Amino acid sequence: MNRPTAILPGTSLVWEQPKALSRAYELKTEETAVGRLRFEKFCGSLALAEVGSETWTFKRVGFLAPRVTARLPGSEVDVALFRPHWGAGGRLSLSDGQQLEWRRMEFWGSQWAFVASDTHAVVGFDQHHRFSRASARVTIHRSSLALPAIAILVALGWYLLILAAADDAAIIATSTVVS
Whether 172 has a pLDDT exceeding 50, the answer reads no
Strand partners, 179: none
- pLDDT at position 126, please? 95
- pLDDT at position 5, please? 44
Q: If you average pLDDT over every residue of the chain, what do you get?
A: 86
Confidence grade of residue 111 (pLDDT, cut at 50, 70, 90): very high
Confidence grade of residue 65 (pLDDT, cut at 50, 70, 90): confident
Q: Looking at residues 86-103, what average pLDDT do you find?
A: 92
* 34: Cα separation from own chain's centroid: 15
Q: How many CB atoms lie within 10 A of CB 10?
A: 8
Helices (H), the chain: 150-178
Whether 113 has a pLDDT exceeding 70, the answer reads yes
Residues 73, 55 contacting (CB under 8 angstroms): yes
Question: What letter would DSSP give residue 112?
Answer: E
Whether 53 has a pLDDT exceeding 60, the answer reads yes
Share of the chain above pLDDT 70, in %: 83
Report CA Rg, the chain.
16
Helices (H), 101-178: 150-178
Confidence grade of residue 106 (pLDDT, cut at 50, 70, 90): confident
pLDDT: is 146 or 40 the higher one?
A: 40
- pLDDT at position 174, please? 52
Residues 165, 83 contacting (CB under 8 angstroms): no
CB crowding 39-67: b at 16 or more within 10 Å, else e: beeeeebebbbbbbebbbbbebeeeeeeb
- The values of phi and psi at residue 35, to 5°, are -170, 170
Question: What letter would DSSP give residue 78?
Answer: E
Question: What letter would DSSP give residue 165?
Answer: H
SS3 74: coil
Whether 178 has a pLDDT exceeding 70, the answer reads no
Share of the chain above pLDDT 90, in %: 58
Confidence grade of residue 171 (pLDDT, cut at 50, 70, 90): very low
| Closest alpha carbon to 60 in 42, 82, 28 | 82
pTM over cut 0.85: yes
Q: Which fold has domain 13-172?
A: Porin (2.40.160)
Distance CA 20, CA 88 (A): 26
